[in-house]
Amino acid sequence: MFRWQAAVTSPWKSRGMKRASRARLYDRVHALPAALLLTSMCVSGACSETSPEAAPGSTPSRVPAPELLNRVTDAYPAFSPDGRWVAYMSTAGGAFDIYAVSPERGERRRLTDTDARDGTPVWSPDGSRIVFQSFRDGHSQIYLMNADGTAQRNVSRNQWHDEHPFWSSDGEHLLFASNRSATAEAPDNVDIFEMTTDGSGVRRITNTPEVETYPSWSPNGSRIAVRKIMEDGNWEIVVMDADGTNPRVVAPHPAADGWPVWSPDGRRLVFSSERAGTADLWVVDLEAEPTEPWRLTWDDEADERQPWFSPDGRHVVFARYQWFPDQPFYEASEIYAVEMPAPSDESASAVGGSAGVRTGPAARAHHRLVSHPAGQILLIGGSTRTDTGYAWFDDAWTWRHDRWTRSASLPFTRSSHALAYDEARREVVLVGGIGAWGDSASGELWTRGDEGWRQRAVTPEDGWSEPAACYDRGRERVVVFGGWNRDNEFRGDTWEWDGRDLSRVADSGPEARAGHDLAFDPVSRRCILFGGRGDGGFLAGTWAWDGEAWREVAVDGPPPRWFFGMTTADDWNRVVVFGGATDDGGLDDTWVWDGTTWNRVDTPGPPARGMSRIGFDGEQVVLFGGRQRRQGASAPFVDLDDTWLFNGERWTRWQQ
């Protein structure tokens, strides 16, 4: 028997999630023109309420008694095409009915009035009609009505459960989820279907053994986003072509994701996710590479679900669900709105940014940056000094369009690792590192692609701490060299990852070392190695790997150092090095490799430091963080959180 869940029972709660007691609410939630909280003001009597003008037999419905107000559920908000109204479902009158509220005028209209459950309203593209689901026939059916609540009619007219309707951009078709495909062998199967607005022309879009719900057409009708319950029971966001082909999971994560809705420009999806513990709203840019989501809301004491973009894309309305400790399976919700950040301010929303709130990664060292061919830079992990020792990071950040945005976190904390981007397989490759204070160096290799983070290999060797990695484009392999092993001994061996196997390929070559770096030389088409520290002290010299052996290609160049920044600047056909450290402290010099020779760039740069990392975004070198020695200070070292940009001639500090 197909099982549908009542709206008053939270599907997130049914997954057994433990509610956390935390302090901070809504760092970045803003009001629409008239109200931040769109529906509670109506429940408290601040809205004037009207009933459908021509709904036969309906009578004006007033707000229930005060003792019931805190248990009202307002859910599934949706903007009208002109942005003047928000339709939603509510128990303000007892059972679930459809209402519309005007944020500007404070007016509320009740559009349906039945003893059954009406919900999930969506406006037609021209604003003249509303589609919704209703249980007034004993099971969920798709209904249409005029925008004023008149002419309510069942367009499903069948024995199946049809729900979660969505309009096509031309207003002629409806997308919906249904168990019409259920069988005796798969009684709970739910697929996505399409039909005309009169209920005819039903066409099946998906045909899988899993459950797909909450379909959403992209504005141009070329793609569909759904919430899919995978074979392991996890909820993921899946985007497919309009005919159901070419499905792919977007922003995969072990936590539950749901309720995807497209931005008006068709570029982004906003969805609800538990990946941060509670259910918050996240945004993913489907045109970015990689498609890393960033967090829009930061409410640790409630769940945000069922988002919907305003027609201009500047706001998102959603339902905020609150749990009651005296009735653990009962919840109430209200409709809130959050402002979407402008493109130049997107990072602020990713971390809850407002005045005085961080708009980039926290101060750190031992992190890594990796450049992406699409002009993006990914920062992963690291650690920082604290009053009691060290703290390890599991976060990831993406630099694009001159700003930082928060990306999906790692499934573990990691510092002192190596990173490379495997262009052939379109995966970030993470090698080695340390997970926490006192941990041994890891021998694991992880990749992050369309399927999320996956552990792909574990070496039987001694692990890596502070190795270096480089993607060899000509040979389509990731090259790994050096680092410390678990006994804090320098390593001098070379390994390669071909997307399937991790193999040791050389034991000879450059002196064993750590704190060095590798970068791909676009001129010689080789991975080159510079710097580090070995048993004999700090190292200089430049080496190149041809796939079979190392060869020293330059003796002159930057003085010996370790823990510097090094990156390939493809558009310049150069490799850039900045800073680093020796026993005398940090360095602040900039060097450029042209394929045969190092040249120092005579320009003031960021303050001297070690452990900073740099990447290239297609136009400029980007530096973040590092560790700085401060003479005479109570704390001799301080970790930094600044970002600097180098255009090939001079450095400038990025202003948040």
CB atoms within 10 A of CB 7: 19
pTM for the model: 0.54
Q: Is the peptide bond prior to 290 cis by the omega test (within 30 degrees of 0)?
A: yes
Band (645; pLDDT cuts 50, 70, 90): very high
CB atoms within 10 A of CB 138: 8
Is the Cα torsion angle 85, 87, 92, 93 positive or negative in sign?
positive
At 94 the pLDDT is 83
pLDDT single digits (tens) 486-502: 999 999 999 999 999 99
Residue 344, classed as helix, strand or coil, is helix
At 633 the pLDDT is 44
At 437 the pLDDT is 77
pLDDT single digits (tens) 113-155: 998 999 999 999 999 999 999 999 999 999 999 999 999 999 9
At 184 the pLDDT is 74
pLDDT, average across residues 549-564 = 97
Check pLDDT > 50 for residue 31.
Answer: no
Check pLDDT > 60 for residue 71.
Answer: no
How far apart are the C-alpha atoms of 221 and 346, rounded to whole Å? 26
At 456 the pLDDT is 95
At 54 the pLDDT is 30
At 325 the pLDDT is 55
How far apart are the C-alpha atoms of 396 and 404, rounded to whole Å? 10
Q: How many CA atoms lie within 13 A of 14 on its CB side?
A: 10
Rounding to the nearest 10 degrees, give the CA dihedral for residues 258, 264, 267, 271: -10
At 331 the pLDDT is 61
How far apart are the C-alpha atoms of 68 and 62, rounded to whole Å? 13
CB atoms within 10 A of CB 453: 20
pLDDT, average across residues 165-189 = 88
pLDDT single digits (tens) 50-70: 443 333 222 222 222 222 233
pLDDT, average across residues 286-301 = 77
Do 367 and 613 contact (CB within 8 A), yes or no? yes
How far apart are the C-alpha atoms of 361 and 613, rounded to whole Å? 13
pLDDT single digits (tens) 232-267: 888 999 999 999 999 999 988 888 999 999 999 899
At 656 the pLDDT is 61
Check pLDDT > 80 for residue 26.
Answer: no
57 class by beta-carbon count within 10 Å (0-12 exposed, 13-18 middle, 19+ buried):
exposed
358 class by beta-carbon count within 10 Å (0-12 exposed, 13-18 middle, 19+ buried):
middle
pLDDT, average across residues 547-554 = 96
Domains of the chain: 30-52+74-340 (2.120.10.30), 368-653 (2.120.10.80)
Band (156; pLDDT cuts 50, 70, 90): very high
Tokens 């919907």 identify what position? 308
Comparing 43-52, 189-198, 540-549, the range with the smallest average pLDDT is 43-52
Residue 558, classed as helix, strand or coil, is coil
Check pLDDT > 90 for residue 526.
Answer: yes
pLDDT, average across residues 429-439 = 90
Counting residues of the chain whose pLDDT is more than 70, the rounded percentage is: 83
How far apart are the C-alpha atoms of 199 and 203, rounded to whole Å? 11
Q: Which residue has the higher pLDDT, 647 or 19?
A: 647
pLDDT single digits (tens) 184-202: 777 888 999 999 999 999 9
At 153 the pLDDT is 96
**Residue partners of 525: CB distance under 8 A and separation at least 6:** 473, 474
The pairing of beta strand 107-110 with beta strand 48-50:
parallel
At 111 the pLDDT is 96
Residue 639, classed as helix, strand or coil, is strand
pLDDT, average across residues 80-99 = 92
Phi, psi of 364 (to 5 degrees): -170, 170
Do 210 and 192 contact (CB within 8 A), yes or no? no
Check pLDDT > 80 for residue 88.
Answer: yes
**Closest-CA residue to 111 (of 77, 64, 60, 172):** 60
Check pLDDT > 90 for residue 566.
Answer: yes
Give me the chain's average pLDDT, please.
83
**Residue partners of 305: CB distance under 8 A and separation at least 6:** 12, 75, 258, 259, 272, 279, 318, 319, 321, 333
Comparing 385-399, 504-518, 639-653, the range with the smallest average pLDDT is 385-399
Band (547; pLDDT cuts 50, 70, 90): very high
Q: Which residue has the higher pLDDT, 53 or 111?
A: 111
DSSP 348: H
Check pLDDT > 50 for residue 37.
Answer: no
Secondary structure of 430-490 in the HEC alphabet?
A: EECCECCCCCCCECEEEEEECCEEEEEEECCCCCEECCEEEEECCCCEEEEECCECCCCCE
Counting residues of the chain whose pLDDT is more than 90, the rounded percentage is: 61
Comparing 218-227, 258-267, 313-322, the range with the smallest average pLDDT is 313-322
Tokens 């959603």 identify what position? 318
How far apart are the C-alpha atoms of 6 and 633, rounded to whole Å? 61
Band (631; pLDDT cuts 50, 70, 90): low
Do 30 and 337 contact (CB within 8 A), yes or no? yes
At 442 the pLDDT is 94
Check pLDDT > 50 for residue 358.
Answer: no
At 326 the pLDDT is 53
Check pLDDT > 50 for residue 629.
Answer: yes
At 55 the pLDDT is 30
At 330 the pLDDT is 46
Residue 345, classed as helix, strand or coil, is helix
pLDDT, average across residues 218-238 = 91
